[in-house]
Amino acid sequence: MRAPPDRPNLFQFAYAEHAQDAVLAWLLTWADPRFEPVDAGLHAAGRLLLTRLLALYPGTGNAHVDSVKVQQQLGGVDVLVVVNEQIAVVIEDKIDSSIRKNQLDTYLASLRATNSYRSVDGVFVKTGDQDPVSAREVGYPVLLRHDLLHIIEEGLKAGAKHDALYEYRDRLVRFERDTASYATQPLALWGTDENEGISWEIVRERRSRWAGFFTALQPSLLGSHWGYVPNQSGGFMGLWWASTHDGEAWTYIQLEDERLVFKLNVDDAARRGAIRWQWHERVLVAAQAADLPVQRPRRFGSGTTMTAAYLEDYRQPNSSGLLNLDATLSVLRQAEHVLDAARALS
């Protein structure tokens, strides 16, 4: 028997960040004490979210809430929450677009200059996939998808009942499921962005799968970062690490979906060709000694960032065709040793 299709979800179609802004603003508005007699469950859910936001900064976490005022798109701010007319929290809301620290810097500086709030603080809410290391480095508190999902689940347990909240919860659960699918989907079916004519839902599902996989790899790859990398060929999900400045070039390893690439970054345009060829030969010699089947690129680039050599697919399957994470990490360690050996060659 075929499994029933997923239930159509409002936020499958209202995907833009403005739709998410509306959910956050709506739920936070319910946190105002005036609305507790109207719907105690939604008020409780709103208070859970507001309490979590206030707890992110010292001095506001224990504030008694007498009033909550919520505004959207005020001076470019996604959502502005003002508690007791004194405590302002700026929410910069992201789904798939990247977090940029200077956005909040600008908004907070403007609010502090034009208002007499006792405190003005900022927070990022990111419900798409996010490199957790980059999130910690941004300089502001970040509520990631699993944080928001936990708050909503607690709100539902507290008695909140509303179709919009259920639909939003289900959408976040779907994102979580897609991100975890790297462990349950056969490697042959992971897919990339290269297929034309597919829906955005499928593209997003594939990117989430790679994001979950890279997040699982990250604790074992010191100094690694991952994210979506756009390019003229359509882009890819990438993870990069092991970067070192080696004389005339920065060298590092980059995963581009299923490919493992030994990369160079060379500023000197006049020397790029010679340096690229030198590193290609070094990597090939080191890889042959390590029995790692790297290949010459189909064509050598000539820009600042170039490929010296690549491995067609570094992922390792188990007997069922699913990812063998430990065996895959062994290949990545092997690639690190190859790069170290190439660096040692003169």
pLDDT digits (tens, 9 = 90+) for 114-142: 999 999 999 999 999 989 888 888 889 99
Q: Are residues 92 and 122 in the same domain?
A: yes
> Which of 105-109, 115-119, 227-231, 299-303 bottoms out in mean pLDDT, i.e. has the lowest?
299-303
Q: Which two tokens stand for residue 135?
A: 């999130």
173 assigned to some structural domain: yes
Domain final residue pick, 178, 213, 242: 178
Q: Are residues 225 and 333 in the same domain?
A: yes
Look at residue 101 in the predicted model and tell me its pLDDT: 76
For the chain, how many structural domains are there in total?
2
Exposure of 211 in the CB half-sphere (CA atoms within 13 A): 22
| Separation CA 256–CA 237 (nearest Å) | 6
Please indicate, yes or no, if residue 234 is contained in any of the structural domains.
Answer: yes
Domain membership of residue 191 (yes or no) is no
Judge if 168 and 303 occupy the same domain: no
Q: Are residues 51 and 81 in the same domain?
A: yes
Tell me: pLDDT of 2 over 60. no
Report whether 54 contacts 17 (CB < 8 A).
no
Q: Are residues 247 and 211 in the same domain?
A: yes
**Is 274 contained in some domain?**
yes
Domain stops at, among 146, 178, 210: 178
Q: State the Cα–Cα distance between residues 226 and 179, nearest whole angstrom.
A: 14
Q: Cβ distance 304 to 266 under 8 Å?
A: yes
Residues 173 and 215 in one domain: no
Query: What's the chain's average pLDDT?
Result: 91
Phi, psi of 130 (to 5 degrees): -140, 130
Do 266 and 276 meet the contact criterion of CB atoms below 8 Å apart? Answer: yes
Residue 324, in any domain of the structure: yes
Q: 261 with 142, same domain?
A: no
Q: How confident is the model at residue 195 (pLDDT cuts 50, 70, 90)?
A: low
DSSP designation for 68: E
* The predicted structure's pLDDT at residue 301: 79
pTM attached to this predicted model: 0.88
Give the confidence band of 1 by pLDDT, cuts at 50, 70, 90: very low
Q: Are residues 294 and 228 in the same domain?
A: yes
Alpha carbon 216 to chain centroid, angstroms: 13
**255 has which bridge partners?**
239, 260
In this structure, the answer to whether residues 92 and 28 fall within a common structural domain is yes
Residue 340 has pLDDT above 80, yes or no: yes
One domain, residues 36 and 164: yes
Domain that holds residue 51: 10-178
The DSSP string of 237-263 is EEEEEEEEEETTEEEEEEEETTEEEEE
Looking at the structure, tell me whether residues 129 and 204 fall in a common domain.
no
Same-domain check for residues 206 and 320: yes
* Assigned domain for 21 exists: yes
Domain membership flag for residue 322? yes
Closest to 312 measured CA to CA, from 293, 284, 329? 293
Highest mean pLDDT among 93-102, 218-227, 292-301: 218-227
- 61-88 pLDDT, tens per residue? 778 999 999 999 888 889 999 999 999 9
What is the predicted pLDDT for the residue at 240?
97
Residue 185 lies in a domain: no
Examine the fold and report which residue of 147, 178, 209 is the final residue of a domain before the chain moves on: 178
Q: Is 68 left (phi over 0), alpha (psi -120 to 50) or beta?
A: beta
